[in-house]
Structure 1
Amino acid sequence: MQIAGKLVLVTGGTDGIGRQIALQLQALGAEVIVTGRNPDRLARARGDGFAVISADLTRPDGVEAVLRGLSERSIDILVNNAGMGTDHDFRVGLPDVADDERTIWLNLHAPIRLITALMTALQTRPEAMIVNVTSGLAIAPSAGSPVYCATKAALRSYTQSLRAQLKGTRIHVLEALPPLVDTAMTTTRSGRKLPPQECARQIVAAMRANANEANVGMVRVLAAVNQVAPWLARRIMIGF
């Protein structure tokens, strides 16, 4: 895909992977709109030259806020990047049901609702793209974060079905599967973390190449293992 001249919406684009995707697309000549919740990060995004929409996508009214913020503007690329995790480990304690609901809304309902609301406009563009950011954990889950894994696996399944529906149309569908990335969400996690700049670079490269999947970093290895031995991929990942 030619990035220059495109109007892009990046959810969760004020920090982490989303911010780096926004910066790299901007550097390639795109006009970028980002969504976020934190006022300081939204102010920084304005300073970076992005249009901003304040929206809490962990709630149903967050999607409406994004649509109002877009007004009559027709985007060319939708990047569903916003995501969160939640503690849901009975070995530690009872989960917080409200946190689970926010995670499910942000990771699954919000992308589906945005795609549905923006589909008609995307179909009018000469060239369009939907990018859904899932996770390597969408391939094989970990024991410690079942709700996060379930939402990402569900979004992966939705993305694959959506790609089949839109085959032969002007809308290309890309799934990006990051590994553990060094962001605010993973500050308490140990282990090797990919810098968000490198994660974004690989995702943007996949966008430019019209790839169907961007298996980022070590997810390439996981995806290869899963192709030949899904049981082994599950065994490797369940302990994380």
Structure 2
Amino acid sequence: MDIRGKVALVTGGTDGIGLCIARLLKEKGASVIVCGRRANLLESATAEGLEAIEADLSSLAGVKALVDAMKGRTLDILVNNAGAGVDFDLGEQIDLDAVDRTIFLNLDAPIRLTALLVPRLRERPQAAIVNVTSGLAIAPRAGGPVYCATKAGLRSFTKAIRYQLRGSNITVIEALPPVVDTAMTAARSGSKMKPEQCAAQIVTAIERDSEEANVGMVKLLKLVHSMSPRLAEAIMIRF
């Protein structure tokens, strides 16, 4: 896909990987709309020349607000990037309301946005849906069962709609990042990929009409998993 002149919507596009994707798409000539829920970050995105829409996608009301804001708008690229982690330790008290919000944000919201915005994408000569999952969609870690479950669910959803949309004008891309240095991973130690590097590989996948963007160390994880799923799971469960 030639990104020049395209209109892109990036959810969770006011910080982290999403903001880096939005910046790069804009740099390559796209008109970019981002959504988020924090006023200061929305203002910063606007100052960079991005169009910003306030929407909290952890609720049905937030999804409706975003879809309503997109009514009558051209759309070529939908990047379902918004996501979050949540604590879930069976040895401690669990905030199930927070769990529900996370499941909605990570899985329900991209499913709903895809369903509601695909008619807009079908109207364009060439379009793309990019679902940002995770290397943890391939093999889970014990420390993040809900996050891993939602990303695995989004991975399955992505594969299924890709088959449904085969032969159409819409390319369906799954982006699988490794651990990236963002606010969500601030408490984690160890090696982290820079969000700019992650975004660059995702945008390259859009340009190449690739079905998957296996980012950074996820390439190695995919290789190990192809040879021995049990080994990949044994490695990642303790990650």
Q: Which TM-score band (shorter chain)? A: over 0.9
2:136 maps to which residue? 137
Q: Does 1:151 align with 2:181?
A: no
Please give the alpha-carbon distance, in whole angstroms, between the structure 1 residues aligned to 2:204 and 2:77.
14
2:233 maps to which residue? 234
* Structure 1 SS opposite 2:200: helix
Stretches of 4+ moved more than 3 A in 1?
none
Offset at 1:190?
1.0
Q: Does 1:15 align with 2:39?
A: no
Offset at 1:94?
2.0
Equivalence map 1:205-216=2 (5 Å) = 205-216=204-215
The CA deviation string for residues 178-210 of structure 1, in whole angstroms up to 9 with x for no partner, is 000000000101110000000000101111111
Task: State the identity as a percent.
Answer: 56
Please give the alpha-carbon distance, in whole angstroms, between the structure 1 residues aligned to 2:196 and 2:120.
30
**Structure 2: 5+ residue stretches without partners:** none
2:39 maps to which residue? 39
Q: Does 1:202 align with 2:198?
A: no
Please give the alpha-carbon distance, in whole angstroms, between the structure 2 residues aligned to 1:84 and 1:218.
21
Please give the alpha-carbon distance, in whole angstroms, between the structure 2 residues aligned to 1:7 and 1:14.
17
Please give the alpha-carbon distance, in whole angstroms, between the structure 1 residues aligned to 2:227 and 2:102.
31
The CA deviation string for residues 120-170 of structure 1, in whole angstroms up to 9 with x for no partner, is 111111000000000000000000100000000000000000101101000
How many pairs were matched up? Answer: 239
Counterpart residue identity of residue 69, structure 2: G
Cα RMSD after superposing both structures: 0.6
Please give the alpha-carbon distance, in whole angstroms, between the structure 2 residues aligned to 1:191 and 1:94.
27
Equivalence map 1:118-137=2 (5 Å) = 118-137=117-136
2:64 maps to which residue? 64
The CA deviation string for residues 60-88 of structure 1, in whole angstroms up to 9 with x for no partner, is 11111101211210200000000000000
Offset at 1:9?
0.1
Please give the alpha-carbon distance, in whole angstroms, between the structure 1 residues aligned to 2:4 and 2:219.
28
The CA deviation string for residues 93-112 of structure 1, in whole angstroms up to 9 with x for no partner, is 12210110011000000000
Offset at 1:47?
0.3
